Chains A and B, each alone.
Chain A
């Protein structure tokens, strides 16, 4: 800062010669008040938008609920597993019975001559 002028002198000069704003237009307060009030008013479409959003959310919930009910109550093999279990069980029983029957057939078959001969020679 220039050494010839002290701080106070500069401040006084600036303060004395400060730029002055042009005066307000007539009726400025009324305009400001009107603008403030209208800026504060809720928009007219706001309730409608809220209603639409709520309706959409409700419809989505209903769809989800209906879908869930159909899934649980319907003939869904993943959820209603009872009949399938029985089917699997009976299939396994049949397979085992069949295998046992086949085995018993082999055992009960009459020995051929060759077998008889081998058995005789072996003794």
Chain B
């Protein structure tokens, strides 16, 4: 109900938060769920951010909070739909400035991620792709640090097996 009382300043602040963290939210959701429903899940994440933004007047801890909302939204979506990471449409052509080998490696990482469970994808996304510390990732995922560490170890082992089988890192 209080949201109706939000004024222009709140909208400006919301816009600033979106500009600062929009790409991060998009990346996190994409790496956990895939491309299908990506726009809807990004929107759902930011609606939750809008609702709770009043609690972060000084912006301290807002990044971890947004990570938490984004990962929870993505994981909930996976649970509801019992989805593996959905197949994405990948261009065969390398991106500008990207060699053919880079394109192959990127595709390989994408395929390796699709083999992991949603929980393991979330850990890899936060700890490796987003560069969060174990503590920050544990806070975002609302899990003990030990659990995050063991999930990360398992996920990397599985990815390495896949890469070795593919002959990339052998």
Report A's interface with B, CB cutoff 8 A: 1-2, 4-5, 7, 10-11, 13-22, 24-25, 28-29, 31-33, 35-37, 39-42
Contacts and interface: CB of A to CB of B under 8 A. Distances in A.
Contact of B22 (A10, A24, A25): A24
B48 to A, nearest CB: 9
Report the 4 A-B pairs with minimum CB-CB distance, sorted nearest first: A40-B3, A21-B30, A36-B50, A17-B105
B169 A2 contact: yes
B129 A33 contact: no
A15 to B, nearest CB: 6
**What secondary structure prevails in chain A residues at the interface with B?**
helix
Interface string B45-63: 0110011000000000000
B60 to A, nearest CB: 22
Contacts of A13: 105, 109, 163, 169
A21 to B, nearest CB: 3
A31 to B, nearest CB: 7
Contacts of B31: 18-19, 21
Given A13-B169, A19-B109, A5 B47 contact: no
Given A14-B109, A15-B131, A19-B31, A35 B88 contact: no
Given A25-B39, A40-B3, A40-B50, A14 B88 contact: no
B14 A37 contact: no
**What secondary structure prevails in chain B residues at the interface with A?**
helix
A110 to B, nearest CB: 102
Nearest to A39: B47
Contacts of B26: 21, 24
A11 B128 contact: yes
A15 B106 CA distance: 10
Contacts of B153: 1
Given A14-B128, A15-B131, 16 more contacts: A1-B153, A2-B164, A4-B170, A5-B160, A15-B129, A17-B108, A22-B30, A24-B22, A29-B22, A32-B46, A32-B47, A33-B11, A36-B46, A36-B50, A40-B4, A42-B4
Contacts of A5: 160, 169
Nearest to A11: B128
Contact of B27 (A20, A37, A41): A20
A14 to B, nearest CB: 5
Q: Which of A13, A37, A42: most chain B Cβ within 10 A?
A: A13
Contacts of B93: none
A38 B161 CA distance: 48
B47 A35 contact: yes
